[in-house]
Chains A and B, each alone.
Chain A
Amino acid sequence: MRDLHLSLNQTQRVRLEAALHELQSLTPAAASAAAVTVADTIPVNQEDNILKGHGTSDQDGEVVATLCGVVERVNKLVYVRTLRARYKPEVGDIIVGRVIEIAPKRWRLEINFSQDAVLMLSSMNLPDGIQRRRTAVDELNMRSIFEENDVICAEVRGFQHDGSLHLQARSEKYGKLERGQLLTVPPYLVKRKKQHFHHLAQYDVDLILGCNGFIWVGEHVVVDEKVKATEDQQKSSDEAENFTPLETRKHICRLANAVRVLSALGFTLTVELIIETAEASASSNVEVNDMLGAEFYVQTAEREAKRRADLLRKKNGAR
């Protein structure tokens, strides 16, 4: 219950305990047994040439954990999968970041990693869309593409030889994100999947689950209109006409609150679960703000326990 400090009354506390207890019983025992903390010895068969991966170290011939997490064994590789930790980038990850600084020919982005990531000017499409060499004029106009504090969606390109992390945003779907809100969740709750961009047509909302734990919920932007939109915005001076329509805003807030509740409960975030939680709140007439209240918190936990129990039953029945 890290982010929402809620005061639950007695019945709610009992219900929550019951739901969490059920979740615990649904976890395979092997997973619990494989949990380790710092300095725990990981049992390995000494004869196999075990590769020591992340989170392990060799001490006196024993494999010892350096992090708290769950031991994973893949063939000959043994590593510790952490839960709460900073983001660990992998090539090809789709991430959402915020521009911290504009440096010569590059932008520095904050992405919840141990260092700031770098987006080179050459890894970014120019506004006019032409593929050409970046000139000095382009360098001076970097601010017209991305400014400080802008929220950007990009892809991890890889680590350079000097250890810095480079991003690229060449495709049309990457770029600046406006008109919405950015949420931060622990990165371990976002699983790497095929799709991270979700256009929720029924709400007209874009939902982007960044692998680094930054989640963007915002108005839907049609891809080719992006270039035109930036020009239009500079012209319009009367803001009131430009505000997000009320219905869309309600949906955005509901989805955002669903993400907040799910991350406070520590449940893995998938699009389906987020939509399901938002729908459940709408159908039971819970006010958008009350989604962050104690009652909905407990209900979401109960709902998830039931869902996982059903899933397990189906899996066992299918066998």
Chain B
Amino acid sequence: MVGLSEGEKHFIRGGIAQDIRTDGRRRLQFRALSVETGVIPQANGSARVRLGATEIIASVKAELGKPSILHPDKGKVSIFVDCSPTAEPTFEGRGSEELSAELSVALQRCLLGGKSGAGAAIDLSSLIVVEGKVCWDLYIDGLVVSSDGNLLDALATAIKVALSDTGLPKVNVSLSAASDEEPEVDVSDEEFLQFDTSSVPVIITLTKVGRHYIVDATSEEESQMSSAVSVSVNRNGQICGLTKRGGAGLDPSVIFDMISVARHASQQFIALVDSQIAAAEADE
């Protein structure tokens, strides 16, 4: 990330205070969003999302596996993020490990709910094939191809679109097996069950610069932040997860204010993402 001079930083702060940022956006305005589905034909579902100059490719792969003993009625989902060095030369080698880990954990927290699987955005019990024996393991992978700020929001959007593109093959279970044997499963090549993503949330990150908050910060604006709050909101306006980054302490009233601003912004963003998904599906 290139550094900024004092004069430039001053200009950016002034822009945010006056509600006209360096590219002319208002504080609560997102950059141009473009969405494509089915970019990785080998995966069960995939998407490429561009938010300004940030570009993310997300893929969802489903494999049959065994549910864990603690939760025999739930499937498993894991989320991993990788930052490609094509986005930033500093991501080469192990340079991106910390950032990838931070993004993966933040996404897991927002989308997968608590340890017991309660409150997960993806209904884990819908992934069960044979209770206690066979379930679907979903592997969700996000790849950052190009980076210009606001990676978390873009990743969450890419995952949401990829899930909407995902089709799980229909599985026919032969009932002849005894209760302690492994049942035979026949994975259909023809029929697919489309994933229900109506409850998958989006993440809105609010970056606080000076006294004001902005959404969808570019990497230049992110370098100016005193703190950032990422709020995960679903279609019903419910909060699904919350992360605060940055060292500066925030007054609790400010945090509540930021949450309500995020909720408000999220409704427009969800509508935008849904319309883009519909357009992408119509294109296919």
A binding-site residues for B, Cβ under 8 Å: 3-7, 98, 147-151, 176-182, 218, 239-240, 242-244, 246, 249-250, 253-254, 256-257, 260, 287-293
Contact A182 B8 (CB under 8 A): yes
Chain A: minimal CB distance from B194 (Å): 24
- A-B pair number, CB within 8 angstroms: 96
**Shortest Cβ distance from residue B177 to the other chain A in the assembled complex, whole angstroms:** 50
B26 at the interface (CB under 8 A from A): yes
Interface of A is mostly: mixed
Among the stretches B13-21, B109-117, B163-171, B197-205, the one at the interface with A is: B13-21
Please, which residues of chain A bring their CB within 8 A of the CB of B25? 289
Q: Give chain B nearest CB distance to A147 CB in angstroms.
A: 7
- Would A288 and B24 count as touching, CB distance under 8 A? yes
Residues of B near A180 (CB, < 8 A) are 7-8, 11
Contact of B32 among A181, A257, A292 (CB under 8 A): A292
Residues of B within 8 A of A179 (CB): 7, 10-11
Minimum distance in angstroms from B258 CB to a CB of chain A: 21
Q: How far is the CB of A150 from chain B (nearest CB, A)?
A: 5
Complex contact B24–A254 (CB within 8 A): yes
Query: 14 extra interchain contacts, Cβ-Cβ under 8 A, other than A178-B10, A243-B13?
Result: A5-B50, A151-B7, A178-B8, A179-B10, A239-B13, A242-B10, A246-B20, A249-B14, A249-B20, A253-B22, A254-B24, A257-B24, A288-B24, A292-B23
Q: Considering the chains assembled together, what is the distance between the CA atoms of A257 and B24 in angstroms? A: 8
How far, in angstroms, from A17 to B14 measured CA to CA in the complex? 39
Interface size class of B (residues with CB under 8 A): 20 to 34
Q: Least Cβ distance of A227 to chain B in Å?
A: 15
CB of B22 within 8 A of CB of A256, answer: yes
A256, B55: Cα distance in complex, Å? 23
Which 7 A/B pairs are nearest by Cβ-Cβ distance?
A178-B7, A288-B24, A243-B14, A149-B3, A289-B24, A7-B34, A253-B24
Decide if A218 touches B34 in the complex (CB within 8 Å): no
Interface contact A256-B50, CB-CB below 8 Å: no
Residue contact A256 to B23, C-beta cutoff 8 Å: yes
- Cβ A244 vs Cβ B11 within 8 A: yes
Chain A residues closer than 8 Å to B96, beta-carbon distance = none
* Cβ contact within 8 Å between B5 and A249: no
Q: Is B187 an interface residue (CB 8 A)?
A: no
How far apart are B219's CB and chain A's nearest CB, in angstroms? 13
What is the distance, in angstroms, from A99's C-beta to the closest C-beta of chain B? 8
Contact in complex: B32, A293 (CB < 8 Å):
yes
Q: B3's closest neighbor in chain A, by CB?
A: A149
* Set A150, A177, A242, A253: member contacting B23, Cβ < 8 A: A253
Closest to A254 in B: B24
Minimum CB distance partner of A152 in chain B? B5
Residues of B within 8 A of A5 (CB): 32, 34, 50, 53, 55
What is the CA–CA distance of A218 and B7 in the complex, to the nearest angstrom? Answer: 10
Q: Which B residue sits closest to A281, measured CB to CB?
A: B24
Which residue of A has the minimal Cβ distance to B211?
A240
Contacts of B13 in A (CB 8 A): 239, 243
Contacts of A287 in B (CB 8 A): 24
CB-CB under 8 A for A289 and B11, given A7-B34, A256-B23, A257-B23: no
- A149 CB contact (under 8 Å) in B5, B17, B18, B53: B5
Within 8 A of A (CB), among B11-58: 11, 13-15, 17-18, 20-26, 29, 32, 34, 50, 53, 55
Encoded as 1 (CB less than 8 Å from any A CB) or 0, chain B from 74 to 112 comes to 000000000000000000000000000000000000000
For residue B271, CB closer than 8 A to chain A, the reply is no
Would A149 and B32 count as touching, CB distance under 8 A? no
Min CB distance A284 to B, Å, is 15
Chain A residues lying within 8 Å of B18, measured Cβ to Cβ, are 243, 246, 249
Q: Is the CB of A249 within 8 A of B15?
A: yes
Q: Closest CB of chain A to B221's CB: distance in Å?
A: 12
In Å, the complex CA distance between A260 and B11 comes to 18
B6 at the interface (CB under 8 A from A): yes
Complex: A253 Cα to B55 Cα, angstroms = 24
In the bound complex, CA of A5 to CA of B54 (Å): 10
Residues of chain A lying within 8 A (CB to CB) of residue B173: none
Query: In this assembly, does B254 line the interface, its C-beta being within 8 Å of a C-beta of chain A?
Result: no
Q: Which residue of A lies closest to B220 (CB)?
A: A181
